Structures are given as structure tokens and as C-alpha cells.
Structure 1
């Protein structure tokens, strides 16, 4: 392994920036200094952990709260059948340390939101192999909240933590480098996300035509009838099997074939078929970027790498520009134009609309006069619920809102966001 690394770490290169100094000292950076956090130990995370260990990194920590399912074994190669039911992060860490004994990997089995700024600031590089947008947005928000500035308003380098974000979708994949206040952040790229396509409820309930309609019916309608006020545990075999069997009965009634347990998991968990080779390519790109950042052996990608394997092997690198009005990295309040006769609930709908740039989940709203709305705890929600049906003119007339900025908090972000309202005539 080191023989291969020596070819790039011990020789000068015209491609390397001025900071690169070939020699044994640069190898000691990987062995003794660099600390890397990997978030996710699934299909992408397994590959990333392997690549980091074989690239000379010796101090790695990994977070993943999922347990190993038998369906993971076809591509998540650090796991064996005897590992089914165990935590992915713990099994992956143990496997890496057994194969690369000098590498230390520490595992965590809780949500990333349970860790604070002190924890994340303890790493030099953070690599995200996450499978959902909400967690990526939260992590992006956390890394930006950690940055401190000098008297001239410039970020202090010692407080900047780069994120390398990898993602795959079938034959497609991407790896991006986010350096706070230097490159575009994750929030800047939300408009690039493909909106999820929904199925009309009337089709699901009355005229199912394909297996997915039967599964959605069992998941959305029949589950609520059978288990009111209890959410589906998507990691529970018993819950998923109940949905599968219920969907199978409906499919038989309509003469529809193709409902399987695997398809049921795919629909309920919104799983896109994973391809091992795509994971390997994107993970290699992520690990290469980590090596570049840690050693200065060459310049990192600027700042978005795409892999397109649908019809061949195609790659592209492009620079995504910052959104000058980004809620996270612009340090500007959001601006929303709305009518004074619009209701508070209309404003919340703008924030939570999946097709808007905000895509919040459950926002709380306050202003200089106090709380306007708070979705939980239940007692507070009930106390302020009546304001949802008040127009902004009524909120102003009754003293609930003084036409100042609105402060919005949401589980998507670590910090609150400010919004200025521009009222239409």
C-alpha cells in the first residue's frame, strides 16, 4: 500500500500546489495527524472506509444507526450473513481494523444530530455517504455554524471543516467538495434535486394498475386503519412483512402481479436500486479528494464531480456557483413576497413546499412580538394554533406581528433563519 502512495507522496509534481512538500513528513500527516469522520456505513460508506484505510488514513470514525439487513449483503461487502441484525458501523469498523491492523476505526450508532459542534470540530475532514437530503442539509448547516471570522470578516482557517459529499442513484453518482465560505454549499444545490413524483391518491385507492400502487395502498391507507397513531418502523421485519402481505392480497384482488417483499421495501423506503460498481467509483472519488485535502498532493476538485454510467462510462467536473441568497452560506435573510391578506399558514406552506427552495419539515415561527406558531410540544401548538388562520394584516392589527423580520427554526438547520416579508399591494 505505502509503495503505491510513495509514488505520489515522495515525488514533486507540477500539478501540486505550492503547499505540497514531498517526503516522509507528508506520510506522517496521514498516519499520525489527520482525523476523518465518515457518515454512513452502507453501500457507499463501506467502500469509503476501505478506500480511506488503504490510502494511509489511520484515525477514522464512522456514524451509522442502521442495522444490517440480509438485502445489504449483495453489495455492502464488509458484512456477512452472521452480521445480520448488528449495527453497520460497528461491524464495518471491526472488519477494517482486522484487515488493516494499524488503522483505528471508532463506531457510533446514533443520529448525527445528537453530536455537537465540539464533536465535529475534532475532525479535519468529514465525508458524507448519506442516503437522505434532510441529514445532508443538517450536516451542511452544522459545518457552516462552526466557522468563526476574523476582524475583517474572513473565515478563520482553523475553524473551517471541509465536507466531501458522495451520492449514488443507480448508474449515476456524484462527489462534491464543500469548503465553507469558499465553494457553493449543499443548500445552494437544492434546486438541482429532481422532484419526487407522486401518485394520485385516487389511483392508489380506486384503480391500481401496478404493484407499486398496491404497496402504497397498504402503506398509506391500510396501515393507518390497522394501527392508528403508530408509525411504520421501516427497519422492522414484522412491520414491512405486514405491508407486503396486505399489498399482495390487494394485488391478487385486482389481478396484478409483481408484489414482492423486496419491491415493498423499495417503495416504502424509497430505495433506488444500488449498483456496486457505481458505489465503488464514487467512493474512490471521495477518498481521492480526502487524500488531496490532507496532503496537498494536488488540487481538490472544483467542486462537483459527476459519474454517468447509464449508457457508458462518462464523467464530468463542473464548478457550481454559490447562491447569493442561500439561507446557509450567504448570511442574508430570506426574502418572501406575500400578500397582507395571506394567512400565516400560507407562509408556512411556502416554507414546506417540496417544490420550493426552502423544503422545510416542521418550522417554528417567531418575531419581535413573540411566538407566532410552534408545532411542538402539543401544549404550545394548541396555544398558538388559532394564529394559523389569521391574515398578516390581522396579525399586525392584533399586535402579534410588528412587520419586522420573522425568525424560523426547523430541524433541517442547526441555527434559526431570518426572513423579511415583502407585502404585495
Structure 2
């Protein structure tokens, strides 16, 4: 710790230091000297994933809590619709990368704190990139991205480096925070069975029997490519949203359905749940509070906190137990059972639709690395319609990879045949 930093600390983080210098319920097992804790606090290298509504709050809280080596990664650019809740941005920043603008704002505002921005997708970074951090705080709005980050940190933990993963999320007036110590307690994947798969509507319902306004908007999304040379609608382009709104409104009028408006149309296109600024602020504060506990060698959340503010501010904290059959951290084979004469496509369907797996685009190999199905390998596509009994024997352990897993990670899937009846 430099002399300049020490002088800044005494003025800016005096309140934080009091927590370190005086024994309290916050640090019942702390045996470190206060000066060592201060040094650790200021030297911790923290990665914040996402600079959106939650990420902006997390960055602000970290910077004002004494963390001085902060890194942030985000692939999005600033849109005018972000400004009501992402307070690190202004109208003049529209179109610029969120990570860069957020870093510039905090670096200018909080002397002694340095935020390093990265513009891009977390999946594009090599695993060595994540080895450098002491802690990761997630402000993601994607289940897939969370699963990937969780699996990556579990993979790193198996090499002997445990990087705490603090995951925050908000949906309207509700939110949650969990503290994941990879391979030690329940990981994100352990709770996948409690996360419902994305809502989809049957094509026949959308096409011939729409009943709710969402069906009408989904119809407009199917019609959009036909009128725009195969291009999909972009929720960040107002003209695309307006086109879909007009199409959906005409559809709704035909079937006497009410409720189609701009907000609903935009929400369906972008799969958006309205963000509440106050919820983001509360969840971010919880995340940074847990980061402070870890930095101070105190007892952190064990390990899940649910916030419900729809009717009244309420939090429920509980321990989420490890799933002994978790696809990521249990390191065991998963088993499924199918009929011997079932088409191989049935296994693909189970991997995509079963709440325990929720995969996106699995590729499957036989023992020895023989490809059974790979999207990029056209000669394997015929296997989807073949009976599984013609492809392998009962009890065969298949290797399954998917975009939700980091590169090099796979699921060992043992397939057993049920008896014909």
C-alpha cells in the first residue's frame, strides 16, 4: 500500500476501516491484523461481469467500499432506453461500449480506484484470463452466460484455485444473491432444476389459434424475416419494433385480442423483464456486502438470499445444498433411460427440454471420440432418425458438449435401454 493510497484511505474509507479494526458479529473468526486486511481489500482483483442496471450499481458500490483494482466486461453498447436505471451513462454516451464508459466514469469520480474495461463476450476470453482474479461478481441477465461462467470457475477450482463467484440477479421487484465457492458449496448448475425452461409457444397455436397478445407478437417475429430478406428483428432498432407492433396489432384485431402495445412488443422481442432501479440497488448492495465479507475473511452468506419486494421488503436466506448428481460440480456420470427402438432424436430432446439439463445445441460423441451427432458435421445428422439400439449398446457412456459449458468440458451421459413391453 503506497503512502498516497494510505492518506486517501484514512479520509475516504474510514468507515470501512472501523469494521476491520473492531471485533464484531461481522468478523467472528477474523484473526488477521487490520493492516493486513486493509492491504488485501485494496489489492483484491475483482471481475464484474455486466455493466447494465445491476453492474453499474455493483461498480459504484465496490469503488466506494475500498476495492481499488476492479475489472468489468460487457459486450453491449449504450442505448437511450438504458438511461433510466444505468446511472453511469448519459445521453451523449449513446452508442459507446458500456464497459468503457462505466470505467471512465468511476475512474474519474473515485480517486485511487482503477477500473479496467473489456468489451466483448465472456466466452471469447481464454480460461487463463479468469485465473488472474480473486473474485467474480455477476450482473448478468442470461442464464446461459451464468451457467458458462459457473462451469468455468468450477473447472479452475479443480486445478486448485477457488475463485468465489457472487451471482446477483433481479426481475422486477424480486431478486436474489448467491455466494458460490466452486467445488465447496452448491454451484449455479446445482439449482438448474428450479429454473423453468424459457417459455415457448407451439407453432400451431401461434399460426392458427392465438389466444394471448404474446401469440400475436410471436407471429410478427415469424413474419418479419419474410419482409426483410431473412433478417431477424433487432430490439434495439425502433423501426423494427414498430414494424412488429403494427403486424401484431393487425393480428390481434383480427382475433379480437387486447393488450398488444409497444412495451409488450419490445419485451417479447428482447425477452425483457422490466428492470426496477431500486431492486438493482438493493441486490448490488447485497453482492458487495458479501464481497466485503470475503475480503475481510468473515463468514459469508451460506449461500442463497431471495429478495421479494413486490408487496413489502422481505428477504429469505437459506443454504442451497449441493446436488450430488450435478452436471458440473459432481463429476459423475449422468444416466437416462430410453427404449431400444427409440430414435436418437429422443435423447437430444431430453437434453434440451428436461429441466435438469436445459442444453441448447448438444454435440454427442461415442467412446473414443467417434462423432454421433454434431451440428457442423452433416454426415452425422441422419443418426437423429436411427434407433438408438442400432447406434450403441445399453450402458454406453456418451460424451456430450454444449455451448453452456466452457471449451473442453463435457457431460458423461450413460444411456440404458428400457425393456420392451
State the TM-score, normalized to the length of structure 2.
Answer: 0.91
Deviation of 1:101 (Å)? 2.3
Pick from 400, 417, 420: which aligns with 1:423? Answer: 417
Residue of structure 1 equivalent to 2:44: 34
1:384 aligns with 2:380: yes
Q: Deviations over 1:17-76 (max 9, x none)?
A: 434424233112122x20000001111111000000011000111111111121111111
Residue of structure 2 equivalent to 1:2: 13
Residue of structure 2 equivalent to 1:58: 68
Pick from 398, 406, 412: which aligns with 2:404? Answer: 412
In the superposition, relative to structure 1, how do residues 208 and 327 fare at CA in structure 2: closer, same or farther (>3 Å)? closer
Deviation of 1:203 (Å)? 4.3
Once the two structures are overlaid, the 10-residue window that deviates more, 140-149 or 243-252, is 243-252
Deviation of 1:215 (Å)? 1.7
Would you say the 8 A contact 1:302–1:318 is kept in 2?
Answer: yes
Would you say the 8 A contact 2:138–2:165 is kept in 1?
Answer: yes
Deviation of 1:254 (Å)? 5.2
Cα distance in 2 for partners of 1:254, 1:114 equals: 45
1:225 aligns with 2:226: yes
Residue of structure 1 equivalent to 2:372: 372
Residue of structure 2 equivalent to 1:23: 34
Q: Deviations over 1:211-269 (max 9, x none)?
A: 433222111x2123224643333334443343233334444555655544333211111
Would you say the 8 A contact 2:195–2:355 is kept in 1?
Answer: no
CA RMSD of aligned residues (A): 2.0
In the superposition, relative to structure 1, how do residues 67 and 14 fare at CA in structure 2: closer, same or farther (>3 Å)? closer
Residue of structure 2 equivalent to 1:171: 173
- Residues 24-423 of structure 1 mapped to structure 2, 5 A cutoff: 24-31=35-42, 33-148=43-158, 156=160, 159-208=161-210, 210-219=212-221, 221-227=222-228, 229-251=230-252, 253=254, 258-296=259-297, 298-353=298-353, 355-368=354-367, 370-376=370-376, 380=377, 382-396=378-392, 404-414=396-406, 415-423=409-417
Would you say the 8 A contact 1:368–1:402 is kept in 2?
Answer: no
In the superposition, relative to structure 1, how do residues 359 and 46 fare at CA in structure 2: closer, same or farther (>3 Å)? same
Counterpart secondary structure, 2:179: strand
Q: Deviations over 1:368-399 (max 9, x none)?
A: 251111011xxx1x211111111122124xxx
Give the length in aligned residue pairs: 405
Residue of structure 1 equivalent to 2:5: none
Would you say the 8 A contact 2:394–2:417 is kept in 1?
Answer: no
In the superposition, relative to structure 1, how do residues 196 and 365 fare at CA in structure 2: closer, same or farther (>3 Å)? closer
In the superposition, relative to structure 1, how do residues 206 and 386 fare at CA in structure 2: closer, same or farther (>3 Å)? closer
Cα distance in 2 for partners of 1:404, 1:212 equals: 43
Would you say the 8 A contact 2:158–2:183 is kept in 1?
Answer: no
Q: Deviations over 1:114-155 (max 9, x none)?
A: 111111010000001110110000001111111245xxxxxx
Cα distance in 1 for partners of 2:201, 2:40 equals: 52
Q: Deviations over 1:291-344 (max 9, x none)?
A: 111121x31000001111111111111000011010100010111111111121
Cα distance in 2 for partners of 1:19, 1:217 equals: 59
Gaps of 5+ in 2: 1-11
State the TM-score, normalized to the length of structure 1.
Answer: 0.90
Counterpart secondary structure, 1:123: coil
Cα distance in 1 for partners of 2:215, 2:35 equals: 60
Cα distance in 1 for partners of 2:47, 2:276 equals: 24
Gaps of 5+ in 1: 150-155
